[in-house]
Chains A and B, each alone.
Chain A
């Protein structure tokens, strides 16, 4: 438990520093690679179930349940890795942004139901609140990264055609199933962030890896010097 807490503290510190660094820079970083790396790190951190699923399970009293068996991700709630890989970068970011928005919405609804007096005392609730902040951090980076892709050669920006609203909790509205639905949802969320991290890794390993500056910067400062072939190698 001590180790877990320490690990969580470290994670919080890393993410906090990431956010602080952005704030200190007065808004968005203009470095494409920097933003990409930050998002990759954020996705790597957020894929860990200790960020959200584990505290959720403890809050709901499901920790004695075999939740790996009964909290399997419901198919279709979150886009699969293949789906994400098939998206354009812009489409990927839009999908990621929309999906995280759904997650935030659901977390807010979850938090709203629970009395404040309980949340103030519980470490798990604090963890959930922190996770909300981290998700907002990812969305901030999406916000900052998207303009850098505007000048890219991507002509088509398909997005995921999945759910744009919250999936209905369950046909049976009883509390127990609702708890399980939340569990499944968060299981899917962590899997989704894992896929996001992998896709972002592929971005970093792609042809644009050697480019030290963002496409936006390149388009502003050195667009005339960039060869068409390189521009053609922009992430897709």
Chain B
């Protein structure tokens, strides 16, 4: 027993130190620093790849450890990321870890260090971190090569909406580098002296070939770039559905959404996985996939549709029972049989699915509308009778079917178009007539309306017109091809019954009957006015006989056109009113309606006449007004030619406007619209037939303005100009009767006097004859002396010049006086004037011609007696020179002669003419104008001399006239 106790104590003593030792090791772990840290770059994923190991794990056990990793950029002090990585560590295990950098790793140098701490529950807390490993530097720029410019990262693939950071690395000055995103310049931040970064947020998809980001160095035109592939976000498939048509094959469909394909990323593929059977199928198409139904009677299916691309995965799930997803195939052998004008039979087939029945739907369409719809249940063959259709009508019949055991979806439609057969027209054509009397007969124009499609029952080919005389047994038929809708018949003055039928390929319509009586009545019917409203007229009439079988209202849609567009409306016998409406009705146009009563014998007799406007308008023009019967107190206005029928409204009367200076209107007129100055006074004529108006009670010798306009219910006619009328004075007329004859008498007398003066002038004062044109001269030349000739003035030598000296302005210059008219010939130098007596002129020694000019005589006589006038020394030399020089004198005379034939120049007022008469009577000036020249025995020419009037001349006495007389050498010349 003692031995046992001793052994037990010894064992405990041995175990105790062991347990104590063991407890002591676990409670004091030694920090383990990560060793052999290696860092590398994976450019594809822009990842830093770390691997390290832990040596000297205690007890060679697996320990749970936490590694803290620090990553710095550019310098060790700029830590960009710190994180822990927890894992189980084995002895001498190489640990790996990756870190994805947002910034491309090529853009900057990275530094990594790591430390660890045990995270094992076997060790009590607190636990201490190991020492940091030394910094590991990673610099990708070392391996870039020798290019001058780089852009990173290369070929980045991101999803739409992501943010991306780019950088460029330049070997030279950064200022020379410009960067672009698909041509648009972008601006970044300088990271290091030769690196700039660009951060792009929410990038958008541009094209499958990616978005180009490139930088250009201006020096040397260096270009570097990269492509950012922006993928559309892979969408979850929508509307995922599976169905079968034959319980053998399932067809699953879905909407895949946007394609995420890029040049570096293929289109996302789709995979079907069925969980019950654990089968999988990769689909070839993006939006559907077929699935072979197993033959082991699997009823339930649980499909998962999966899709993925490089960036994302998506999946949707669908569970269903196979027989609940049956959609039959499109029916086949769809045939239309026994088509006639009203009915047709459709037949079809369905592909059987086991022993199931099918529910089929038959539809009949017309003009795009469903007009019939019926459901039928069939096994395999279907049949349905389509009825109640219209003849000659296009229809579309179609059918579809659904699985009878459980309705899931209808099959696709199968359809066919068809047309029902024609049938004979069902109603008689609506016929009316227009009868025009001719000598001995009628022109009957028949009109009919085309049958509506529902009544024609096919294409109307022609209209048959059967004309039967009721008085004689004659009958004839006409066939009018469609689409004509009228024909003209010329009939004798008998009664005729006309049948009109419409015909198509299937038969004839009922006949429309109309009777033309042989003796139409000529009942005078007063036209009644009706008022229309917009496009309609309400008409009513009084029935004339009780046995009328109907009424017809007739009108023209275009009454102003020669083809007036005859319209009619047939009404039943009990109808006494109707509303005629037409889109052709226009405002301002008068429409005439005739209402006929149809007798049992189909004879139409005129019952009433109505006329009216759908809307009246003011008159389109004003009357052309003339005035008459103008007196000092009244005048009359007339507009007889004004047509009231052609106006766009019923003329209700006329408004006569009168304006005057009087404040008050004349009687019968009322003042209107004070604000309107042009209005004045108005007289309203309510009778449209009154086309004259007598305006009276006017003031004499006053001005009035009038204006006449017609008016309708819509108002006055157009504005016009006022016409002015002035009433005469009361005495004016009387004066007119006296003054006018007096004026006429005076005029008559004046005319008589004028002719008398002409006569007297010819008798008393004939014009001076032209010596060169004298007949006497020719007579002398031929008979007496061939040497005789007309004296040229240049050849004339004045014997004497009498200077008449009269004070200038002392008397009125006679016509033609005051002009230098002297002529002489200088035979010897002369400083004085000669005055030779007329008696010495050898006028009697030879023939002579004498002309006389009373005008000059008058002038000479006005000057007084001729006489010698000594030239005063005070006379200006120039003037004297003109006078005393024989040449000048001669020139002056010549000039005078010339001027005597024409116009005497003005301004030469210093010479007077002295007419030389055959028997001059000096000093007897008064006798000259009055005494006609005495015809001498021989012709005698009197030299007409011009005598200057100078102040130097001695003033003659009033009674003494100085004259100059030239005595010609008769032996030499005849003047």
Contact = CB atoms under 8 A, between A and B. Distances in A.
A61 interface: yes
A82 interface: no
Interface stretch (B218-226, B400-408, B413-421, B713-721): B218-226
Contact of B227 (A113, A114, A115, A174): A174
Interface stretch (B49-57, B257-265, B869-877): B257-265
Contacts of A61: 182, 206-207, 209-212
B347 interface: no
Interface in B223-273: 223-227, 229, 259, 261-264, 266-267
Contact of B267 (A60, A69, A117, A174): A117
Contact of B263 (A65, A70, A114): A114
B155 interface: yes
A229 interface: no
Contact of A64 (B182, B207, B226): B182
B267 A65 contact: no
A114 B267 CA distance: 10
Interface string A41-70: 000000000000000000111111100011
B226 A174 contact: yes
A117 B225 contact: no
A65 B214 contact: yes
A62 B206 CA distance: 12
Contact of B226 (A69, A113, A176): A176
B263 A175 contact: yes
B221 A115 contact: no
Number of chain B interface residues as a range:
20 to 34
B208 interface: yes
Interface residues of A, number: 20
A186 to B, nearest CB: 15
A139 interface: no
A60 B209 contact: yes
B180 A179 contact: no
Given A61-B206, A61-B212, A65-B214, A117 B182 contact: no
Interface in A174-229: 174-177, 179-180
B183 interface: yes
A62 B259 CA distance: 23
Contacts of A179: 209, 212, 227
A69 B210 contact: no
Among the interface residues B155, B206, B207, B209, which one has the most CB atoms of the partner chain A within 10 A?
A: B209
A225 B217 CA distance: 68
A62 B212 contact: yes
A64 B183 contact: yes
A176 B221 contact: no
Q: Is the interface of A mostly helix, strand, loop or mixed?
A: helix
B42 to A, nearest CB: 16
B225 A113 contact: no
Contacts, number: 68
A2 B209 CA distance: 25
B145 to A, nearest CB: 8
A176 B261 contact: no
B493 interface: no
A118 interface: yes
Interface in B679-695: none
Contacts of A59: 207, 209
B221 A69 contact: yes
Interface in B161-211: 180, 182-184, 206-211
A57 B396 CA distance: 53
A114 B211 CA distance: 14
A182 to B, nearest CB: 10
A65 B209 contact: no
Contacts of A115: 208, 259, 261-263, 266-267
A113 B262 CA distance: 9
B154 interface: yes
A113 B213 CA distance: 20
Contacts of A65: 180, 183, 212, 214
A175 B267 contact: no
A113 B208 CA distance: 10
Interface in B630-672: none
23 contacts: A59-B207, A61-B211, A65-B183, A70-B221, A70-B223, A113-B263, A115-B261, A115-B262, A117-B259, A118-B207, A118-B261, A175-B155, A175-B210, A175-B226, A175-B264, A176-B151, A176-B213, A176-B224, A176-B225, A176-B226, A177-B225, A179-B212, A180-B225
Interface of B: 151, 154-155, 180, 182-184, 206-214, 221, 223-227, 229, 259, 261-264, 266-267
Given A114-B208, A179-B227, 16 more contacts: A60-B209, A61-B206, A61-B212, A64-B183, A113-B263, A114-B209, A115-B259, A117-B261, A118-B207, A118-B208, A175-B210, A175-B229, A175-B263, A176-B151, A176-B214, A176-B225
